[in-house]
Structure 1
Amino acid sequence: MFTQLCLSLALAAASTRALTINTPTNPTSGGTTSITWSSTSDDPVFSIELNHPSFNSALAIANNVNPADNNRTVGLPPVPAEDNYTLTFVNITNINDVFATSGSFSIGAAVSSSSGRSTASASGSVTQSGSASQASATSPAVSGSGSPSASNSGSGPSPSPTGSAAAGLRAPVVALFALVGAAFVL
């Protein structure tokens, strides 16, 4: 009778853990992969761990997985491209309680991708000088555009009182001296 009871309990325990993990196809180091399994309504929530003989401990790659989902896409950590990896579904409160183990599979090398990166810079400057006696000066508009490894700079004219503008400034000064001189003469 005791033997029948033990056998019944063992069968009951086996039926509550009917998780079966399908072996992943073409997983790559650092890439994403789809993990699928079959389950029953009695299967508990679990964590998915990645195992390899070279690891000191398993790597958790998904936690609190609902068994009724029957699939999960996960990101794999960067690991060596080798054979003999396995997945285990473990109890979320006791990782030593293994519900299911996958068959052995290989993880391929990371898929490389190329990305183009370019930078652009532009700079501009304006230098302007003048005297306080100048009526007004306006700054010229300077614009530049950049492309990789290129810079643009510009400079505006340096206004100075010459030509007719200089004559226009000298006339009031001469008139002022003439008035001052006339005042002394009178």
Structure 2
Amino acid sequence: MNPVPTPPAVHAEQHLTSSAMLQDIVIGFFDELTVPFALAAGLSRAVHSSSLVITAGLAEIVAGSIAMGLGGYPAGRTKVEHYQAELARERREVQEMPAAERRAVQELLAEMSFSPATQALAVRELTADPAQWVKFMMKYELGLEEPDPRQAPKSALTIAGAYAGGGVIIQNAPKIGR
């Protein structure tokens, strides 16, 4: 009796595939690190009540979180709209100028150091399916990955939350050192 061979273990790649959230956290958090210092410095010279400075700082955190979140939303929408506009343009180019787009595929493959024979085969294979052809051009010609269409509200909430988190840290920084 021959033993049944076991299939090889599947290697699961675990890469960070979307840096959008990380970017949003950095934007919100580091913006918050600068504003309270300026506010506290200005108020502490003008006002002698530390409770008033703290209250103003908390009000700034709330207002800043709202403002940063509202700014994050259109930024997220812009990425989606830009991608969609380029996708429509690339689809149109593949349909209306296939010869020029095939040359563009060949040039991209040449830049990747594929041999001329492999380039010719790959151009035939890639351009046989218009959807895959456009996807290839979006990624390798334009350097665009399809953004999450729900990224705008996620960005708004992440930026606002990171801004508030940074503000809480700054507000408590004097207490942490004690």
Q: Tell me the TM-score normalised to structure 1 length.
A: 0.19
Q: Which has the higher helix share?
A: 2
> Larger RCO: Structure 1 or Structure 2 (Cα < 8 Å, ≥ 6 residues apart)?
2
Q: Tell me the TM-score normalised to structure 2 length.
A: 0.19
Larger Rg: 1
Q: Which has the higher strand share?
A: 1
